[in-house]
Amino acid sequence: MTLVPSSTRLPCGNRVLDLAHTHVMGILNVTPDSFSDGGRFSQLDAALRHAEAMVAAGATLIDVGGESTRPGARAVSPLEELERVAPIVERIHRELDVIISVDTSTPAVMRETARLGAGLINDVRSLRRDGALDAAAATGLPVCLMHMLGEPGDMQDNPHYDDVTSEVGAFLAERMASCAAVGIAAERIILDPGFGFAKNLQHNLSLFKHMEALHALGRPLLVGVSRKSMIGQALNRPVGERLHGGLALAALAVVKGARILRVHDVAETVDVVRMITAVESAE
């Protein structure tokens, strides 16, 4: 195996993610109330088959989530979340060659899924739940910190920013400092601007336009806009008709330096990344 420079190597459990180029993360919601695919993959075998299909289509990470974070989503207990997530993490780890990301804010879920083979903690609350910082630190895994104000139940009530990009950057810098205080080094951190979380359409568009400013934080960016309302509002499209808008944003995100694209439509997004790579690597 050829080693890449250490600055681009992110150890993820028993695998390494090479952040010298852009990766596609496939979304696997094992929740009955996700906004886009709620309930479709809540049964273990169906979830595993879908994960297999996304890996075959080119996903290098699978993001497993057991708690919906759509606007207005109901809270679930740690036990219920763990019962949804743990079996599929264990099966994927045993059967597929892929990095498992766990979309969770719950300390017990972080600890147990790390034990079962997860390679990345992806927390929309940026480790702000009680005990989450210590739990994430104890796993030794990399973490993705996302910008969000409030909670999913109230985050869209009336979000306000004077300068959305600088305020998102300041929030993420503060969360990185909190991580450092418990021993989570910057080298273990990925940052997510949090499109669609406590942001209206204009906030989302402005943040996307100026996303390069977040590179000043020195960490790779994860972008998740697949099928989100910003596409629906900009194009007047329902959830099932947002693929083309999502692919346009995926292409823009790659050009703006994003290193992970979190998506539902893996095969189509992989084609976008490969096509850009082909052009960029030409003489």
Q: Shortest CA distance to 72 belongs to which of 150, 7, 168, 171?
A: 150
Is 228 annotated in the active site? Answer: yes
Q: Shortest CA distance to 198 belongs to which of 35, 105, 71, 34?
A: 71
Q: Which residue among the candidates 125, 228, 242, 259 is catalytic per the annotation? A: 228
- Check: CB of residue 90 under 8 Å from CB of residue 48: no
Q: What distance in Å separates the CA atoms of residue 32 and residue 223, rounded to the nearest whole number?
A: 24
Contacts of 76 (CB under 8 A, 6+ apart): 31, 66, 67, 84
Q: Shortest CA distance to 253 belongs to which of 36, 24, 63, 65?
A: 24
Interhelix angle for 78-95 vs 107-116, to 10°? 20
Encoded tokens for 255:
């050009």
Q: What distance in Å separates the CA atoms of residue 165 and residue 193, rounded to the nearest whole number?
A: 9
Q: What distance in Å separates the CA atoms of residue 231 and residue 237, rounded to the nearest whole number?
A: 7
Q: Which residue among the candidates 111, 175, 242, 262 is catalytic per the annotation? A: 262
Q: What distance in Å separates the CA atoms of residue 78 and residue 38, rounded to the nearest whole number?
A: 19
Q: Shortest CA distance to 162 belongs to which of 192, 198, 195, 203?
A: 203
Is residue 100 helix, strand or coil?
strand
Is 188 annotated in the active site? Answer: no
Q: Is the dihedral of CA 140, 146, 149, 150 positive or negative?
A: negative
Place of tokens 């993820």: 12
Catalytic residues: 228, 262
